[in-house]
Amino acid sequence: MPTKMREWSWGFLFIAYAIASSIAAERNPWTERISGSAGDVLEDDPVGKLKVYVYELPSKYNKKILQKDPRCLSHMFAAEIYMHRFLLASPVRTLNPEEADWFYTPTYATCDLTPTGLPLPFKSPRMVRSAVQLISSSWPYWNRTEGADHFFVVPHDFGPCFHYQEEKAIERGILPILQRATLVQTFGQRNHVCLNEGSITIPPYAPPQKMQARKIPLDTPRSIFVYFRGLFYDVNNDPEGGYYARGARAAVWENFKNNPLFDISTEHPTTYYEDMQRAVFSDDIVLPFADAIPWEEIGVFVAEEDVPKLDTILTSIPPEVILRKQRLLANPSMKRAMLFPQPALPGDAFHQILNGLARKLPHQKSIYLKPGEKILNWTAGPVGDLKPW
Ligand SMILES: *[C@@H]1O[C@H](CO)[C@@H](O)[C@H](O)[C@H]1NC(C)=O
Ligand SMILES: *[C@@H]1O[C@H](CO)[C@@H](O)[C@H](O)[C@H]1NC(C)=O
């Protein structure tokens, strides 16, 4: 067990969706619709419900960065690039900012990769600040609300905190200039300084061709009881495992690495979603599009302190409960909502982001500032962030 395991107050840490291979009926291919407001909203068509103005920025904020490193198109944070492309061609885009409901600033802030492909967020704050400076001086829209009708795609580890180590991310907090904006991010931990109320959580990007390539036949017996994707230890920054994912990942590894029920692998397969349909074991991330997908009905949440009992907890779930969860997860609209296909398709993750933005409309009158009123502090935050980009 890691020695530095920290105490955290929130209620759950894991969603574990576990399937015992002995359950015969699990091969049943039928699916179940999540009825009522929750599941059905995945099929909403956002067209006609919102208009988005895409700021035209110099290419040094986006295209030039991508030209330098095309690997950015396939890493798990690539949604920032694909969302830009999607919006440029989307019918919700308006070329008239006066009629826009939302403003979008296309910066590829995660596209700075190490030789091994890990994104470095150190320049991101300066880049985003620079972009906001530019839009706020060249157009009148930012100053009207100081960003409250603007959205940003920030898919880093800790989203708008722009650091991959949690301690540092917490210390930094959300970039001050983005405090009023709507943040579209993969990071979603409740009660965390890096998640603002009203943010939209999205799935990580996975290359669609790889996701489509492998289709597991429905009658294949399930052999995976628990599936884990990710790292157990952050060997570079935290070899003891006390901080990374708050020690919980390390705890799972230590408790279950030799347990035959568990097939724990740290490899990064390309069949993320399909594997997930068989058995999901994910960490404390608040799951994507949580206002549209009732994840509590689909997953099993396990408290951090109960991690050592995970095997007992998962094997004692009644089969009919597991089957229902499987049927809900097997609904095609669920799968579609997790994907960023090229070209985009109705109901995909791009459309879910737009649906999320549309559900926030109309904006409250109170977001518009009085003449001369200022709320954001442009000089707050680490001094290093204030340097020009
Ligand atoms: C918006 O406010 C900033 C800071 O107060 C100012 O420098 C800028 O000129 C304003 N932008 C416009 C378009 O008036
Ligand atoms: C803005 O933040 C800086 C740095 O934290 C602080 O020194 C300054 O007093 C703040 N300004 C306002 C108006 O709150």
Summarised one tens digit per residue, pLDDT across range 126-140 is: 999 999 999 999 999
Distance 266 CA to ligand 2 centre (A): 44
From residue 186, give the alpha-carbon distance in Å to each of 58, 76, 160: 26, 10, 10
The span from the CA of 115 to the CA of 313, in Å, is: 41
Region 196-220: mean pLDDT is 75
For residue 245, is pLDDT > 90? Answer: no
Judge if the beta carbon of residue 375 lies within 6 A of ligand 2. no
Nearest ligand 2 atom to alpha carbon 378:
1
The SS3 call for residue 272 is helix
Site of tokens 């091994």: 116
Q: In this predicted model, which residue has the larger pLDDT, 222 or 22?
A: 222
State the pLDDT confidence band at 297, using cuts at 50, 70 and 90.
confident
The SS3 call for residue 45 is coil
The span from the CA of 287 to the CA of 15, in Å, is: 9
Distance 135 CA to ligand 1 centre (A): 9
* Residue with CA at minimum distance from ligand 1 atom 10: 137
The span from the CA of 336 to the CA of 350, in Å, is: 10
* Residue with CA at minimum distance from ligand 2 atom 3: 380
pLDDT for the residue 373: 94
* Residue with CA at minimum distance from ligand 2 atom 6: 380
The span from the CA of 266 to the CA of 230, in Å, is: 6
pLDDT for the residue 209: 73
For residue 315, is pLDDT > 70? Answer: yes
- pTM equals 0.79
Q: Nearest to residue 271, comparing CAs of 224, 319, 321?
A: 224
pLDDT for the residue 79: 95
Taking the CA atoms of residue 322, residue 350, residue 201 and residue 37 in that order, the dihedral angle to the nearest 10 degrees is -60
Q: What is the pLDDT of residues 137-179, one digit of tens each?
A: 999 999 999 999 999 999 988 999 999 888 999 999 999 999 9
For residue 27, is pLDDT > 90? Answer: no
* Residue with CA at minimum distance from ligand 2 atom 13: 377
Neighbouring C-alpha atoms within 13 Å toward the C-beta of 195? 16
